[in-house]
Structure formats: structure tokens, C-alpha cells
Structure 1
Amino acid sequence: MPHCEERQRLLPNRTLDSDEEEAAAYESTEKVHIIGVNEGADEDYTKTPPFSWRKLWLFTGPGFLMSIAFLDPGNLEGDLQAGAIAGYSLLWLLLWATAMGLLVQLLSARLGVATGHHLAELCRDEYPRWATLLLWVMAEFALIGADIQEVIGSAIAIKILTNGVLPLWAGVTITALDCFLFLFLENYGVRKLEAFFAVLIATMALSFAWMFGETKPNGVELLLGILVPKLSSKTIQQAVGVVGCIIMPHNVFLHSALVQSREVDHHKSGRVREALNYYSIESTAALIISFIINLFVMTVFAKAFYGTDVANSIGLVNAGQYLQEKYGGGFFPILYIWAIGLLAAGQSSTITGTYAGQFIMGGFLNLRLKKWLRALITRSFAIIPTIIVALVFDSSEDTLDVLNEWLNVLQSIQIPFALIPLLCLVSKEEVMGIFKIGPVLKTVSWLVAALVIAINGYLLLQFFSSEASGLLFGCVISAFTAAYVAFIIYLVLRSITFPSWLGFLQSKKRINSGN
């Protein structure tokens, strides 16, 4: 009887409004087979199988694809500016911001593994139509903002590597073609795609480690920066930027879908726990690597430019040139080392952005489109405005930096609309069964979400207070802020007051109508 009760609680009390096979992020033929998943019919399904290095290897992949969002050009720009302006003093914040990002991503993975559906699909089922469409629009805006930064970062790297022969718009066009590379690799299987991203992450690690070795940052100051929290009024803006760019809204949606690329028997709680354990290990390892890469970038620019006259003027466009002027050529010019790392960051993040866009659009709108068509539509959303930006701002470094600030604001605005639905869903037993988060983890998660939202709120306040001019602009911002806050309050109140028995009645009604 206890086993029967656990099995009943394990299965969600809801069904999506579409067939499970059609709604799945991956078709059954695409999934990676895990040893022992379909073996041992008489096993105790509540027992978690023993640890296996071979299984860990088979589960490894989704966490590293997820970690690329922590290494995109927007994050690299935040790192280099924090290092140049604040020195080593914000390394501790980078560490804790990465830990907060890990918590959010583990919750996203938990949702995908326990339910067999990703966040966008579950939002479609959880919220009324108007709220679902609004959440979709917000997610698309966040994705477009992130993709513009990523594509521009790749285009800057291509311009550097070709000694300016290829202008920014040409680099954007070349980067746009990675959509076809993505589709080509995807046809050869999930593991081949993951291997390609592993190569790009390794390229970033080697490039920025090389820069770290060339500049030789101070080891003692580095350790003190990690271990001793330090914050001043002069570095508050950089601190806010470090935390604000760690959690990417589209990445929360992406990870809940990526974890479904492995076969997991959702009718056996032991197998679900096993998957969660392995995903926790590989996601933690992936974000440790991403933290080290971000640390390389921050400390390189801290050593090179902290306290100098150019510290406040460094951005992605001119960072490589400043490094070249300070450290010269050497065996291999540091300008090109920087460009190779930046290109790997831009290419990897823009391809994962295309991946995330497919899940977001398909999940929220319940679309049944072929993958190449979904990828093409998703790519067009970002590439068309990016080419316009590149043509207009190709020769203006200052304008590109201002554009980057606006894009950071755009993504900051969207963070609550990924975090709040995620926390709402992972807390509900009718969604998660026995895998809903407990009261302690729930409290910690909401505190982290509140902190991230508050920090980004501060960033928005600072930005708009400096940009605001004129009565009309002020009225538009006020109206937008009121609507924005009202929607956030709606999402929070719904997660608190929406009675679980109502969800049960809705699912029961669907089952009865299906019969």
C-alpha cells in the first residue's frame, strides 16, 4: 500500500492539452538511452540505483549547454567592466551570483525531469490564455535581447580576426548562418550537438586561461577577492550588473527542456531521483567551469586596467585593443586570443538561444512545426533587428555600449516572468508529485528570487532615472511600470492563493471529458 500511494503521488494530477508524445521536447528516437532504464521490471521502483560513473557520463550534456548562458558576450562584458572598475573586490559576488544561478537552474531541471514537460508547456497549462500569451511575449523579448548581444559579440570577434576587412553587419550575417550548423548537428543526435558545445567551452577556457597567464593577476588579491565580501558606493553599479546578468530568462525555460533528452521512467520514483542526482552533479560541475572562466576574464581586466584612466571606457568593442596596447604582441597577439574566446562565446550562446527559442515558441503556442521551420522563425526574430543595429551602429562604439545597456535592461525586466512561474510550479504537489520542493528549499528559493528581482529593480530605477526626460516619457514609463508591477503581483498571488483542489478538479474534468 505505501508503494501504491507513492506511485499515485508521483504521477502529476494534470494532463496537458495535447498528446504527450507530440508535446515532448524530444521524440523518443532522439533521446539518449540510459543503461538500465528499461531493465529490471521487478525492481523496487522506489529505490534509487547505486552511483555509476558510466551513467553520469551518459547524463552529462544538458548542464553544459545550460552553462553557456553564463558565458555569453553580455556576461563577459559585465566581467571585464567589473574587473576594470572594481578590481578584484567583486569576485566574491561573482561566486555567490553563480551559486544563485545554479539553484535556479537545478529547480528548472527538477521541473523537467519530474513532470516530463518543460516550463513553457506547463505555463500554458497553468495560466489563462491571456497570461500565457503575455508570458510568451516577455520570454521572446528576453530571448531577442540576449541574442542581439550574442550576435553582436560574435560579429565584433569576426571583425577583429579579419583585421576589419569584414564589417559588423557581415559578421552578423555569418553568425546568422549558425542556425543551419545547429540543424545539421542536431540531425546527427543529441550527443554530437553536446560534443560541439563542449569544444566551444574548451576554446573559451583555453583562450581566457592563456590571457590569465599572459597578464599574471595577483594570486593573493584574487583569493581575498573571493573570500572577503567587499562593496562600496563606487562599485555598486558593477555589483548589480554582475548579479543581474547571471540569471537569463530564456535559460530557465531551456534547461527544463534539455533534461528531457535522456530516457527516464517517470513511473519509478527511484529512476527520477537517480536522474535528478546526476543532473545536479553535472550542472554543478558545468557552472564551476563557467565560474572559473568568468573569473579569468574579471581578473585579467582587474590586473590590466584597475585604477587607470581607461577603466570606465572599456567595453566589448575596444577591450581587445586596450589589451593589445598594454601587453603587445608576444608569441600570439593577445588581441586575437581575446577575439577567439569572444567568438566561441558568441557562437555557442547564439546557437543555444535558437534552441531555447524553439522550446519557448512551441511550448507556449503549442505549435506543431518542423524543426527547421521553427529554427528559421526563431532566428529571424533576432537576426533582422540585429542586422539593422549593425548597419546603423557599425562605426559607433559609444552607441553600441548604450545599446548594450538598453538590452541589459530589457532582459532584467523579463526575469520575474521566468522565476515566478518556475517557483510556483515546483512548489505544487499536483504538478510535481513527491518531487515538489520542501518548505526550507521553497523559502530559500523565494528569497533568492526576491533578491534577484530587487537587484534588477534597482538597476531599472537607476537606468530610467538617468534616461528620463520630458513629461511624455515620464508618463509612458509610469504607465508601463504600473502594468508591469500589477502582472508580477498577479503571478505571485496566483501562486499563493490558487487552491490545489481546483487544479485537481480541472484535471479530473479533462480526464472525464477525454473519456
Structure 2
Amino acid sequence: MEQASEMGEIGREARHEGGKDEEFRVQPKWRKFLAHVGPGALVAIGFLDPSNLETDMQAGADYKYQLLWVILVGMVFALLIQTLAANLGVKTGKHLAELCREEYPRFVNICLWIIAELAVISDDIPEVLGTAFAFNILLKIPVWAGVILTVFSTLLLLGVQRFGARKLEFIIAAFMFTMAACFFGELSYLRPSAGEVVKGMFVPRLQGKGAAANAIALFGAIITPYNLFLHSALVLSRKTPRSVKSIRAACRYFLIECSLAFVVAFLINVAVVVVAGSICNAGNLSPDDANTCSDLTLQSTPLLLRNVLGRSSSVVYAVALLASGQSTTISCTFAGQVIMQGFLDMRMKNWVRNLITRVIAIAPSLIVSVVSGPSGAGKLIIFSSMVLSFELPFALIPLLKFCNSSKKVGPLKESIYTVVIAWMLSFALIVVNTYFLVWTYVDWLVHNHLPKYANALVSIVVFALMAAYLVFVVYLTFRRDAVATYVPVSERAQAQAEDGTGAQAVAAAAAADHPAPFRKDLADASM
């Protein structure tokens, strides 16, 4: 009796989805596109967070336009892999963390979960420090006191979000784009050399001490591992019918939406680098401004906007910086929920989840801000962005393998050209990261003054960690997928779904197949 009742329920759901498929096909294209707007915008808004602002300004101040090519390559790579993440969610009805839990042994899953959580925490550190700098500018309090206040500001934000998340996000986005408009206004005032900008964007160079480290930090700030988990989950909050035609259409709409959002984010990041490069490398800098540019932090950024905003530059910038930190906090919280639910099948209240992540992120932020002040806090933001770059392969490799696996997506594999390009860029990233780690450590080993036995012990630990890093990367790369999660739609249901006839017949034929991947647990996602 229970089985018959369950089959009846499945049949009703299938008929409902068949009707949805029919309704999806007759909608005009612009309405279909608007129904898919949101996930890419939420991911792209992370490109305007404090970590991106800090790394962009440091790159511009120290190397002028030399590292613009890193932003271009990073954005193209980000668009490529974020599109793959969105497609994976649409095609499988599951997000990346859930697929990892089903595919890998428990020990590997625990390791991947820890690395993903560290990525969320690493990305939350710049949000803590960015918010602390905003409080420092607005309230004239020390940075370390602003760090402590970030606990209460975030909980207040999550509380206010209950009364209208979309309105709150609209206000936050308005402040952030106000800051972006200020940088564009400053850009038009400075009128930088177009030839130098184009050269910096299309001629790869890494000249000067620290250029490689800054490039890795830029790359890590643009491509964050948790965004791959987040994007593959956000697309499940849209009701995508199960026919191949509808799935491919949804993937196409998500690509368009993501591309538009990423182009805007790319232009804003370029504007920040060019403004910082133009002002800090000008020949008529005063001694005070030159000293500020030599160690540019989020606290001293109003220097870059005073041509447009004058004396009000500090207040406008601080409010926009505060909004930037809070908006990314929302996406970090939701990404953390997705990661925990996917890898461990556990759920936690938003405020509890945010409080745990924030307290862990506050510890290093508070120590550095007390010991080293604003300068040390700025360096910590750069360091946390570098950590994100090193953690990226552990989310990226499973994504690339699943996207081209018959056991995960069946016949809906990605183009071989797309996959090859993504693998080549991923391999290049791993090689650069490994080279930078070895070079940095050897340089430190040569110039430190520790006793020989201490250097030997440190070397053993460091090279053991490097070996573990590479072994884990190789394991994820060459391990064959063992678990088949793709369930094909029956050929008869498929044929009827494609020609748009017989919604009830389609539902009846597909009743034994998997339901549409719409996820009620993700329906209330931000944006």
C-alpha cells in the first residue's frame, strides 16, 4: 500500500514537471533568460570584495599596469570554470560537494571538506579586515577594535536579512557600484595612456621582486574555490525541465548571465588597478602620498578617489567598503552551508554557521592588526588570497573530471575543446604554485639565521607538506570515477519532450526516472 502511494506521488510530481516543461517551451526567450538571472551575479559580486580591492591596489601601486594580464587571464579562466560548475548542477541535479561525497572514500571527503572550509575562512579574513578598515575610517577607532565589531555587524546583517533579503542586497549592491562609479570617474579624470594599459593587458610580464607573489594573490582573489561549490548549488534553485533541449537552453542562459556579470566585474577590477597605477606612479607625488603608495592598504584608498570626491572620499569609500564586506559575508555563509551539507550531509542555522566561520577568521586578523597594525592587515589580505590560489585545485580537479564523465552527466559532456583548455590552465596554475612554493622556501632558507638543525627540521616538515600536496593532486587527477549517478531519461519520454507533444504521456513515461533537480532547500538562496 505504501509503495502504491509513493508511486502515485511520483506520478503526480512527474505530471507537474511535464507541465512545467510545456510551460518552459512556450515562454518568450527574454522571460526564460530573466528566470535564470541571479547565480552568476552573486558569484561575480565576490570580485568586488575587500580582497580583490587590496590585491588590485597593491598590483597597481607596485607594478603600474604590468599585471593587468593576470586579471584578464583570471577572469577568462573564472568564466570558464564557473560556467562548468553551473552546467554540472543543471545536468546532474546535484551540486559539486554532493557529487564528491558520493564519489570519493570517506577519508578523501573529509580532507576535501577541510580544504573547502579553509577556503571559506581564507576568504572571510579579507571581509573581516575590510569591514574593520571601514569602521576605522567612519568611527575613528583602531583597526583591532573594528575587527571585534565585525562579529556583531554580521549577526545584525543576517538578522535584518529576515525582513527582506532582496531589498538588503539591492542596497548593498548600490553602495558597491557607487564605489565602482567613483573609480571610473577617477579614471576619466586621470586619462592614463591607452597604449600602456593595452600592453599591460596583453603582454605577460613578471618583472620585479614580489611580482610573482602578487600575481598569484590576484589570481586567488579572482578564482575562489568555494565559488565553484556555490555556483553549482545556486543553479538548482531554478526549475529546469528534464529534457536535453531544456537543459542545454538553461546552460546557455546561465552562460549569458554569467558572462555579463563577469564583464562588469572585469572592468571594475581593471579600473582599480589603472587608477592605483596612475596615481602612485605619477612623477609629481608629494612625500606623504609617496609614502602612502609605498604601502597602500584599504585604509589609505581614499587617496585614490579624492580627485572625484574631494573631502567626502573617505566617507563614501568607507560605506561602500562596509557594504562590500557584508555582501561577500552573505555568499560565504551560504557557500559554507552548501559545503557542509554536501560533504557531511549536515545542516546548521545561518547565524551559527556565520558565527563559527567569523570567530575563526577573526583570530589571525586580530593578532596581526594588534601586532603589525594596518600595514600587517593589508599583507594578511594578500596572503589569504595566495592561500585560495593554492587550494583551488582541490575543487577544480573534481569539477573538470565530473563534467566530462559519462557516469556523472551521461551524454551531456562538455566540449572536448573546453575541457582541454580548462585542464591546461589548471595544470599551469599547479606548476606555478609549486614553483613559487619551492622558490619562496629556498629563498627563506638561504637568508634566515636559524641554526642548521632547525633548518633541517623545518625543511623536513615543509617538503613533507609539499609532497602531500602533490600526491593529493595526482590522486584526484588520475583516479577513475567509480560511482555512476547519471540516470538517463527514457527514450520515449525524451522524444515526446523534444517535439513538445503530450505532457501527460511524457510524465507517465518519465515517472520511473529521476525528478527535476529543483531543490527546495536552495530556493531561498540570496539573490
Q: Same fold (TM over 0.5)?
A: yes
Provide the C-alpha distance between the structure 1 equivalents of 2:153 and 2:246, rounded to a whole number of angstroms. Answer: 36
Pair 1:204 & 2:179 matched: yes
Paired position in structure 1 for 2:222: 246
| 2:129–2:377 CA contact under 8 A, matched in 1 | no
User: In terms of Rg, which structure is larger?
Assistant: 2
Paired position in structure 1 for 2:111: 134
Paired position in structure 2 for 1:354: 333
Q: Give the SS at the match of 2:192.
A: coil
User: Normalised by the size of structure 2, how large is the TM-score?
Assistant: 0.78
| 1:84–1:311 CA contact under 8 A, matched in 2 | no
Paired position in structure 1 for 2:239: 263
Pair 1:76 & 2:53 matched: yes
Pair 1:233 & 2:218 matched: no
| 2:216–2:389 CA contact under 8 A, matched in 1 | no
Query: How many residue pairs were aligned?
Result: 458
CA displacement at 1:144 relative to structure 2: 1.0
Provide the C-alpha distance between the structure 2 equivalents of 1:154 and 1:384, rounded to a whole number of angstroms. Answer: 15
CA displacement at 1:248 relative to structure 2: 0.7
CA displacement at 1:422 relative to structure 2: 1.0
Provide the C-alpha distance between the structure 1 equivalents of 2:168 and 2:244, rounded to a whole number of angstroms. Answer: 29
Provide the C-alpha distance between the structure 2 equivalents of 1:506 and 1:264, rounded to a whole number of angstroms. Answer: 16
CA displacement at 1:462 relative to structure 2: 3.7
Provide the C-alpha distance between the structure 1 equivalents of 2:463 and 2:456, rounded to a whole number of angstroms. Answer: 10
Cα deviations by residue, 1:328-387 (Å, 9 ceiling, x for unpaired): 796444344443443333222222112211111221111143444334434443345544
- 1:382–1:347: structure 2 CA closer, same or farther, 3 Å change rule? same
Paired position in structure 1 for 2:517: none
Pair 1:484 & 2:465 matched: no
User: Normalised by the size of structure 1, how large is the TM-score?
Assistant: 0.79
- 1:269–1:371: structure 2 CA closer, same or farther, 3 Å change rule? farther
RMSD of aligned alpha carbons:
3.2
The amino acid across from 2:342 in the alignment is G
Q: Give the SS at the match of 1:233.
A: coil
Pair 1:471 & 2:456 matched: yes
Paired position in structure 2 for 1:417: 394
CA displacement at 1:131 relative to structure 2: 0.2
Provide the C-alpha distance between the structure 1 equivalents of 2:27 and 2:203, rounded to a whole number of angstroms. Answer: 39
Gaps of 5+ in 1: 1-27, 29-36, 508-515
Pair 1:406 & 2:383 matched: yes
Pair 1:283 & 2:263 matched: no
The structure 1 residue matched to 2:343, chosen from 354, 364, 367, is: 364
- 1:149–1:270: structure 2 CA closer, same or farther, 3 Å change rule? same
| 1:65–1:194 CA contact under 8 A, matched in 2 | no
Paired position in structure 2 for 1:171: 146
Q: Give the SS at the match of 1:436.
A: coil
CA displacement at 1:303 relative to structure 2: 0.7
- 1:504–1:58: structure 2 CA closer, same or farther, 3 Å change rule? closer
Paired position in structure 1 for 2:478: 493
Task: Determine what percentage of the aligned residue pairs are the same residue.
Answer: 38
CA displacement at 1:440 relative to structure 2: 1.9
- 1:107–1:57: structure 2 CA closer, same or farther, 3 Å change rule? same
The amino acid across from 1:221 in the alignment is E
Pair 1:503 & 2:480 matched: no
Q: How does 1:301-450 map to 2 (within 5 A)?
A: 301-306=276-281, 310=291, 313-317=294-298, 319-320=300-301, 322-323=303-304, 331-390=310-369, 392-393=370-371, 396-450=373-427
Provide the C-alpha distance between the structure 2 equivalents of 1:463 and 1:322, rounded to a whole number of angstroms. Answer: 32
Provide the C-alpha distance between the structure 1 equivalents of 2:456 and 2:463, rounded to a whole number of angstroms. Answer: 10
Pair 1:155 & 2:140 matched: no
* Between 231-240 and 99-108, the greater mean CA deviation after superposition: 231-240
The structure 1 residue matched to 2:267, chosen from 288, 292, 304, is: 292
Q: Give the SS at the match of 2:59.
A: helix
Paired position in structure 2 for 1:56: 33
- 1:273–1:330: structure 2 CA closer, same or farther, 3 Å change rule? closer
Cα deviations by residue, 1:465-510 (Å, 9 ceiling, x for unpaired): 344452222221011111111111111111xx34xxx424999xxx
| 1:204–1:345 CA contact under 8 A, matched in 2 | no
* Between 361-370 and 172-181, the greater mean CA deviation after superposition: 172-181
| 2:230–2:335 CA contact under 8 A, matched in 1 | yes
Provide the C-alpha distance between the structure 1 equivalents of 2:388 and 2:73, rounded to a whole number of angstroms. Answer: 20
Paired position in structure 2 for 1:102: 79
Provide the C-alpha distance between the structure 2 equivalents of 1:341 and 1:155, rounded to a whole number of angstroms. Answer: 13
The amino acid across from 2:143 in the alignment is L
The amino acid across from 1:147 in the alignment is D
CA displacement at 1:130 relative to structure 2: 0.1
Paired position in structure 1 for 2:495: none
Q: Give the SS at the match of 2:410.
A: helix
Paired position in structure 2 for 1:273: 248
Cα deviations by residue, 1:390-418 (Å, 9 ceiling, x for unpaired): 4x33x623433443343234223211111
| 1:211–1:334 CA contact under 8 A, matched in 2 | no
Pair 1:114 & 2:114 matched: no
Provide the C-alpha distance between the structure 1 equivalents of 2:54 and 2:118, rounded to a whole number of angstroms. Answer: 20
Paired position in structure 1 for 2:507: none
The amino acid across from 2:234 in the alignment is L
- 1:372–1:347: structure 2 CA closer, same or farther, 3 Å change rule? closer
- 1:204–1:321: structure 2 CA closer, same or farther, 3 Å change rule? closer
CA displacement at 1:51 relative to structure 2: 5.8
The amino acid across from 2:406 in the alignment is E
Provide the C-alpha distance between the structure 2 equivalents of 1:331 and 1:311, rounded to a whole number of angstroms. Answer: 17
- 1:401–1:386: structure 2 CA closer, same or farther, 3 Å change rule? closer
Paired position in structure 1 for 2:286: none
Paired position in structure 2 for 1:222: 197
Provide the C-alpha distance between the structure 1 equivalents of 2:182 and 2:307, rounded to a whole number of angstroms. Answer: 16
